[in-house]
Amino acid sequence: MIYLADIRNWLKGFNIADYYYSDKLNFEQKPQIKIKDTVLTVNDEAVALLEILPKLNGNVTPETISDMCNILFDEAEMQKLKKLKLNFEDFTTLVQSAVELVAGGEEPGETATLATT
């Protein structure tokens, strides 16, 4: 099991100055996560990630997970998400996968587990 401290350490490992993506920037397409037959588009704007990262410090509560979800998914995507009627564990996994996706981490489907208390 991977804990929140592991995710924090992973995020600290990014040294932005060492990466240059001028030919790889993508302004056309937002990342998506597919659950069953539902495709959810994730907000990958840098400002969104900057709002989320401080929420990963300390204990991750259900309220924190809900806040991150509201940052990552717009209203239309939230309506799709509500129709899926996910249990809390699956909902947490979805939010974590979305965070990893916008942070440039693991591919969707290869997720770590947020440690919640």
Query: Both tokens of residue 81?
Result: 């998400």
Please answer whether residues 105 and 37 qualify as being in contact, where contact means their C-beta atoms are separated by less than 8 angstroms: no
Which pLDDT value is given to residue 17?
38
Q: pLDDT tens digits, residue range 9-65?
A: 665 565 543 443 444 555 567 888 888 889 999 998 888 888 888 888 878 888 989
Q: pLDDT tens digits, residue range 74-111?
A: 999 999 999 999 999 999 999 988 988 888 755 444 44
Please answer whether residues 116 and 105 qualify as being in contact, where contact means their C-beta atoms are separated by less than 8 angstroms: no
Which pLDDT value is given to residue 68?
92
Q: pLDDT tens digits, residue range 28-40?
A: 678 888 888 899 9
